[in-house]
């Protein structure tokens, strides 16, 4: 049976060994990340490709040429 | 962790048609009660009001499910919806006795005649509008709710 003092010494020794082997973690950030986050949010602009513009224009043109299609479109969609 | 992705997908899907319905309803009130247009629009407005937003929500839930297996295009996914909606709307209108087929055309409320050419235009324009609406608006709300 181990003596309680021996147990205490073992725990202390184990703690020291762990401290030596595991590198110290830096809990604090080295710099503020929020400005970069804001910059990233600002840079998120939606780019509409030419194909989508052409599609929207074609749909609008068809509705102008055939206005009688509008009620059917509103009902079905 | 993203809890309840399908509920989020449903919620993101119903926003666009629900907002657009306000425009449709406003136009309906102006046409029917201010300009006194003699067409009983209220008989056919049930489908756009009740059915369409729910179907958008369900369709977006399907998109969320499809995304788990790959990266489908949301625009193409949305563009397929008119191919489901249009026949369904016509079936509902026919079932309620509000639409019928006669001599190369569809007749709504016995006053609106839509020949097959016009129907093709409606479907084509509908697919284009849905493609764009899903690609930009529904996708935006999907991103907002974390299911994009």
Q: pTM here?
A: 0.73
Kindly give, in sequence order, each residue whose CB lies less than 8 Å from that of residue B109, ignoring residues fewer than 6 positions away: B39, B40, B43, B44, B98, B99
Q: What would the pLDDT profile of B37-62 be if each residue is shown by its tens digit?
A: 776 667 777 777 778 899 999 999 99
Predicted ipTM beyond 0.85? no
Q: How many domains does chain A have?
A: 1
Best B128, B139, B144 member to test A by mutation, with max A CBs in 10 Å, is: B128
Question: Which range marks the domain in which residue A68 is found?
Answer: 50-77
Residue B44 or B20, more confident: B20
How confident is the model at residue A76, as a pLDDT? 66
Residue A67 covered by a domain: yes
CA proximity to A55, closest of B51, B132, B108: B132
Cα(B123)–Cα(A40) distance, integer angstroms = 39
Q: Does residue A8 form part of some domain?
A: no
Residue of B nearest to A58 (CA): B125
Of B126, B132, B135, the CB nearest to A76: B126
Number of domains in chain B: 1
Of A54, A59, A49, nearest to B73 (Cα)? A49
Instruction: Give me the domain span that covers residue B108.
Output: 5-144
């Amino acid at each position: 049976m181990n003596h309680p003092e021996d147990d205490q010494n073992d725990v202390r020794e184990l703690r020291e060994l762990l401290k030596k082997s595991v590198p110290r973690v830096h809990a604090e950030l080295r710099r503020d990340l929020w400005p970069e986050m804001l910059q990233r949010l600002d840079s998120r602009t939606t780019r509409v490709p030419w194909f989508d513009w052409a599609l929207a224009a074609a749909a609008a043109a068809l509705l102008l040429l055939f206005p009688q299609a509008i009620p059917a479109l509103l009902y079905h969609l | 962790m993203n809890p309840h992705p399908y509920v989020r997908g449903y919620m993101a899907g119903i926003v666009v048609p629900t907002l657009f319905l306000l425009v449709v309803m406003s136009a309906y009130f102006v046409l029917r009660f201010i300009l006194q247009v003699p067409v009983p629009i209220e008989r056919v407005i049930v489908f756009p009001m009740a059915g369409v937003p729910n179907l958008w929500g369900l369709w977006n839930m399907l998109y969320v499910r499809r995304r788990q297996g790959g990266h489908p295009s949301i625009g193409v996914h949305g563009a397929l919806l008119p191919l489901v909606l249009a026949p369904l709307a016509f079936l509902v209108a026919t079932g309620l006795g509000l639409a019928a087929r006669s001599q190369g055309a569809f007749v709504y409320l016995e006053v609106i005649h839509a020949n097959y050419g016009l129907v093709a235009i409606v479907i084509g324009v509908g697919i284009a509008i849905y493609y764009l609406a899903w690609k930009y608006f529904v996708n935006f709300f999907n991103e907002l709710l974390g299911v994009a």
